[in-house]
């Protein structure tokens, strides 16, 4: 049966702002308090989705969340009407209001981990929502994420959903950003590659010194168990703690894989030779030919990789089997990175073309092309079971663009977060969106 990789991009929410909320994420910290444009951010994301759809790739949309999250603010002791909750939080604890107002669910590579049906014991596609418990503003995403995923992938004959892992740092889980799947073709059993930053229970694994390692080995192992993955189809690797300390807060900031290819920085992992050999052997036993494309530190240093987001690219297989890399504009602006990319595509390797997208609004919070998408490999019958409302078509693109133009603000500063009207605008927009995407009731304001 034919199978596809479908990219579900996060639609940027109406409260997109620069809160400086992610310690260890260089862009988030350095753009703290800058004025954002939610409208521009959403339109930049939609333009990428449209371009991929027009290139013939299957493209889906993942809905944003209700923000500010008044349920979270109430749980922290703010009371009264919704407007009063927001005003009290603005007055007494602005950092909490900023955290509860983040549009961070746009980075759907962190929504969950997905295992395609060819890899799982029960032959269903498995989803585990990520607890994202390293950062408060992200830890509040998973309940709504689970409802949205449930409304998109509803058929229990094809799709199995698992709740987020226990919300403690020992099981810190950041979802697909630290997970890659290698395969000969999307419908065949593959090898799932889990990358962790530290171990919670085994002190033999070194931890970074400066910035937090968000993903633990124990979280990766729990997800592999929940999904019913066979040991022969799993490889674990530790991210190099030294690169976490240079701002590589997720593995997808330093490597990306697709099909039989891993595109990675020389310093991405610990025990690189062992990891690559295991990937090679395990994929080989699944009938595939693993191929690593290593970017040497002399060509591109870790600092350039973090600044340009070279590895936060989408590596896509074109109809003729060759690969295309979708990179952010920042790669073209970085001389060393751009020179490297020219060389890479001129060689006889698997990556033949580079396409550049302007995603500056998201990039300023540390979210590149790969952060904005959740990959789900689906067989034809599974794709037919997906809620058709979330699959991008030219008509849906038009509707969503008009919806953004109608509901989103042109600019948002920290002071604007104190305005209770922003919540009203967000709810009005999302109520309409659930009808456009045919999601039913998924938001707290729709179900409480
Ligand atoms: O978790 N930034 C996100 C970026 C996530 C990128 N995702 C992947 N690499 N897959 C994060 O650090 C910043 C929000 C702010 O500062 O306003 C933020 O949450």
pLDDT in tens, 24-73: 999 999 999 999 999 999 999 999 999 999 999 999 999 999 999 999 99
Question: What is the band of 436 on the pLDDT scale with cuts at 50, 70, 90?
Answer: very high
Which of these is catalytic: 40, 174, 218, 382?
A: 174
CA–centroid distance, 22 to ligand 1, in Å, is 6
* Residue 65, token pair as written in the block: 């969340």
- pLDDT tens readout for residues 108-131: 999 999 999 999 999 999 999 999
CA atoms of 233 and 218, how far apart (whole Å): 17
For residue 448, the model assigns a pLDDT of 72
pLDDT the model gives residue 15: 98
Among protein residues, the one with the nearest Cα to ligand 1's atom 17 is 19
For residues 254-281, average pLDDT = 98
pLDDT at 224 over 80: yes
pTM, two decimal places: 0.98
Ligand 1 pocket, 177 CB below 6 A? Answer: yes
Contact 42, 404 (CB under 8 A): yes
The sign of the CA dihedral 107, 313, 61, 46 is positive
Active site residue 174: yes
71-99: pLDDT as tens digits: 999 999 999 999 999 999 999 999 999 99
CA of 27 to the centre of ligand 1 (A): 9
Residue of the CA atom closest to atom 10 of ligand 1: 371
- Distance CA(411)–CA(397), nearest Å, equals 22
414-422 average pLDDT score: 98
Atom 5 of ligand 1: nearest residue by CA position: 367
Dihedrals φ, ψ of 103, to 5°? -95, 30
In 3D, which of 227, 165, 171 has the Cα closest to residue 197? 171
Please state, in angstroms and rounded to a whole number, the distance separating the CA atoms of residues 429 and 425.
Answer: 6
Check whether 291 has a pLDDT greater than 90.
yes
Q: How confident is the model at residue 313 (pLDDT cuts 50, 70, 90)?
A: very high
Class of 3-67+102-446 in CATH: alpha beta
Instruction: Verify whether ligand 1 is closer than 6 Å to residue 10 (CB atom).
Output: no
Specify whether 432 is catalytic: no
Domains of the chain, residue spans: 3-67+102-446
Contact 129, 144 (CB under 8 A): no
In the structure encoding, which two tokens stand for residue 359, read together? 């995603």
What integer best gives the mean pLDDT of the chain?
98
Nearest C-alpha neighbor of 67 from the set 92, 46, 96 = 96
Which residues are part of a known binding site for substrate? 19-28, 110, 137-138, 214, 252, 365
């Amino acid at each position: 049966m034919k199978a596809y990789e479908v990219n579900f991009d996060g639609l940027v929410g109406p409260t997109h702002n620069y809160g400086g909320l992610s310690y260890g994420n260089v862009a988030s910290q350095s753009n703290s308090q800058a004025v954002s444009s939610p409208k521009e951010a959403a339109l930049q994301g939609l333009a990428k989705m449209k371009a991929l759809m027009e290139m013939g790739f299957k493209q889906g949309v993942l809905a944003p969340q209700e923000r500010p999250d008044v349920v979270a603010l109430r749980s922290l002791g703010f009371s009264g009407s919704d407007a009063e909750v927001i005003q009290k939080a603005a007055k007494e604890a602005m950092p909490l209001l900023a955290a509860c107002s983040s549009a961070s669910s746009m980075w759907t590579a962190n929504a969950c981990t997905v295992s395609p049906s060819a890899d799982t014991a029960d032959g269903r596609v498995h989803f585990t929502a990520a607890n994202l418990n390293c950062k408060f503003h992200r830890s509040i995403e998973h309940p709504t994420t689970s409802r949205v995923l449930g409304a998109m992938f509803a058929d229990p004959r094809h799709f199995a959903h698992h709740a987020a892992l226990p919300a403690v740092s020992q099981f810190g889980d950041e979802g697909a950003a630290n997970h890659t799947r290698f395969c000969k073709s999307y419908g065949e059993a593959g090898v799932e590659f889990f990358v962790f930053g530290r171990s919670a229970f085994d002190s033999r694994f070194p931890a970074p010194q400066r910035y937090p390692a968000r993903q633990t080995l124990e979280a990766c192992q729990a997800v592999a168990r929940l999904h019913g993955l066979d040991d022969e189809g799993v490889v674990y690797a530790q991210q190099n703690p030294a690169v976490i300390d240079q701002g590589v807060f997720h593995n997808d900031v330093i490597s990306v894989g697709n099909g039989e290819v891993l595109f990675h920085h020389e310093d991405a992992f610990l025990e690189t030779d062992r990891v690559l050999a295991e990937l090679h052997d395990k994929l080989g036993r699944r009938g595939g030919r693993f191929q690593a494309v290593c970017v040497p530190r002399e060509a591109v240093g870790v600092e350039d990789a973090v600044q340009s987001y070279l590895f936060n690219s989408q590596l896509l297989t074109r109809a003729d089997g060759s690969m295309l890399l979708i990179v952010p504009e920042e790669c073209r602006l970085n001389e060393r990175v751009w020179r490297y990319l020219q060389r890479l595509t001129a060689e006889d390797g698997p990556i033949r073309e580079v396409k550049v997208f302007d995603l500056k609004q998201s990039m300023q919070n540390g979210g590149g092309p790969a952060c904005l998408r959740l990959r789900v490999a689906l067989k034809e019958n599974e794709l037919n079971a997906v809620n058709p409302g979330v699959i991008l078509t030219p008509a849906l693109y038009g509707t969503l663009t008009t919806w953004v133009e109608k509901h989103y603000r042109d600019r948002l500063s920290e002071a604007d977060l104190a305005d209770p009207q922003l919540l009203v605008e967000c709810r009005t927009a999302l109520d309409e969106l659930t009808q456009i995407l045919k999601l039913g009731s998924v938001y707290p304001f729709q179900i409480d």
